[in-house]
Amino acid sequence: MADLDFPPEEIENFKKLFDIFDKDSSGAIDVSDMEQVMEQLGKDPARARSLLDEIDPNHDGKIGFDEYLKMLLKIEKELEGSAHEASQDAIQAENKVLDFLQLLEEYRLKCESEGNYNEAKKAQLKYDELKKKETFRQLQQMKEAQEKELHSLEDAQNTQLEDFNKAWDSYMAEYEATAYKSLEKLKEKHIQEYQELMEKVTAEAQKKVKHSKELLGLRQKQQVLAKQKSYEEAEKIKAKADQLEEIEDEKNEVIVKKIIETKEKKLRQQQQMALAALLKRIQRDRNEQIKHREMDSSRLIMRNRNIVNSLVIKQNAEAKKTLQQVKENLGDIKKNMKSISNG
């Protein structure tokens, strides 16, 4: 079907023009009327008759709506020549609507001058209807373009925010890993300090602890008796010295243990303070990083919100300007036609 090559709204406009020239509602118009349509659309009117010979099977000089569409389609293809950009197509579609409106206005003025007021009224009603639809179409087209622009901006901002959060998550993960390594390193240091202290304190404590003069005297007497071969007396002295040494060793062990406990307690306190200071520093830095993240996030969100608001303001201004421009463009048709008729 030929009509499949035209958009539905364009077919609707073609039908309105066709109906205007189909005065008796017979579903057909004379070829002379078609020549007038061609001339008003800025096309060669002679082509109407030559194309009709190709398309009209019965050659009765009448053109049905399907033949009418086929003729317009054939002329359209002759004029296209090459492909156009989307923006050029939109301008071409808009120019066609303006051509239709101009044709309707010319026809209305013609009917009005001839006193055919019923036809003039029909032309005026169709003119107003087409103008309203064209205004809505252009505004809807602009609205869709603006919504697409806004959604594109919002998608870009969402991606930017996701990247921002990923970067910060990665940074905080590295920070936590570094903090964990610092704690582990400190623990290893504390273990080594403890081992070194125990060895040192034990050795120093043992040096400080000495046996009594009484015990030393008994051991000396024991040796003398043994050299004199007074073994019974030497054994008695040895037993007495062993008993005394055991008592003194127990006392000395308590003293050494007390010294070690004092030193260990002091070291543990120092280590706890060092650990608490490190944890405090880690938490302080963590809070500082979180604060920076929140500030950067707020700035980014505010900046993006301002960009969106600026775009909305710009789009609102564009919408008003476009509406005014559409009204002026469509209104200029009547002005131009009045100027021509007055001239």
Where is average pLDDT lowest: 30-44, 120-134, 239-253?
30-44
Share of the chain above pLDDT 70, in %: 77
Of 61, 81, 101, the residue that ends a domain is 81
DSSP 133: H
- Average of per-residue pLDDT across 92-108: 69
CB 218 within 8 A of CB 239: no
pLDDT digits (tens, 9 = 90+) for 218-271: 989 999 999 999 999 999 999 999 999 899 889 888 888 888 899 899 999 999
C-alpha span between 135 and 201 (Å, rounded): 97
Are 57 and 168 found together in one domain?
no
Alpha carbon separation from 332 to 41, 239, 329, 336 (Å, rounded): 17, 135, 5, 6
Task: Let me know if 127 is exposed, middle or buried by CB neighbors in 10 A (0-12, 13-18, 19+).
Answer: buried
Tell me the percentage of the chain whose pLDDT exceeds 90: 37
Q: What is the pLDDT of residue 78?
A: 55
Please identify which residue in the block is written with the tokens 């659309």.
41
pLDDT for the residue 164: 93
pLDDT in the model for residue 88: 46
| Average pLDDT of the residues in 125-145 | 85
Pair (187, 285) in one structural domain: yes
Model confidence at 310: pLDDT above 90 = yes
102 has a pLDDT exceeding 50: yes
- pLDDT for 186 equals 94
User: Token pair for residue 131?
Assistant: 């103008």
pLDDT value for 297:
94
Please provide the average confidence, as pLDDT, over all residues in the chain: 81
| Residues 210, 77 share a domain | no
pLDDT tens digits, one per residue of 182-218: 999 999 999 999 999 888 888 887 777 788 899 899 9
Phi, psi of 29 (to 5 degrees): -125, 155
Judged by DSSP in three states, 29 sits in: strand
Q: How many CB atoms lie within 10 A of CB 33?
A: 19
Provide the pLDDT for residue 82. Answer: 38
What's the predicted TM-score (pTM) here?
Answer: 0.56
Into how many domains does the chain fold?
2
| Residue span of the structural domain in which 29 resides | 1-81
Q: Who wins on pLDDT, 305 or 57?
A: 305
Nearest to 317 by CA among 153, 140, 146: 146
Question: Residue 204: what residue type?
Answer: E
Average pLDDT rounded to a whole number, residues 46-61:
63
Structure tokens at 55: 């398309």
DSSP codes of every residue in 50-95 = HHHHHH-SS--SEEEHHHHHHHHHHHHHHHH-S---HHHHHHHHHH
Domain boundary among 81, 115, 140: 81
pLDDT band at 57 (very low <50, low <70, confident <90, very high): low
In this predicted model, what pLDDT tens digit does every residue of 137-169 receive, in sequence order? 888 888 999 999 999 999 999 999 999 999 999
Q: Is 158 exposed, middle or buried (0-12, 13-18, 19+ CB in 10 A)?
A: exposed
| C-alpha–C-alpha distance, residues 277 and 271, integer Å | 10
Identify the CA nearest to 205 among candidates 256, 254, 252. Answer: 256
Average pLDDT in the 46-54 region?
A: 64
The pLDDT of 104-131, averaged and rounded, is 82
For residue 170, the model assigns a pLDDT of 95
Is residue 108 one of the residues assigned to a domain?
Answer: no
Residue 336 lies in a domain: no
What is the average per-residue pLDDT within 288-315? 93
Which of 60, 81, 102 terminates a domain? The answer is 81
Helix (H) or strand (E) holding 1: none
Q: Is residue 227 part of a domain?
A: yes
Same domain, 156 and 76: no
Instruction: pLDDT band for 24, please (50, 70, 90 cuts).
Output: confident
Query: Does one domain contain both 157 and 64?
Result: no
Nearest by Cα to 71 from 91, 51, 41: 51
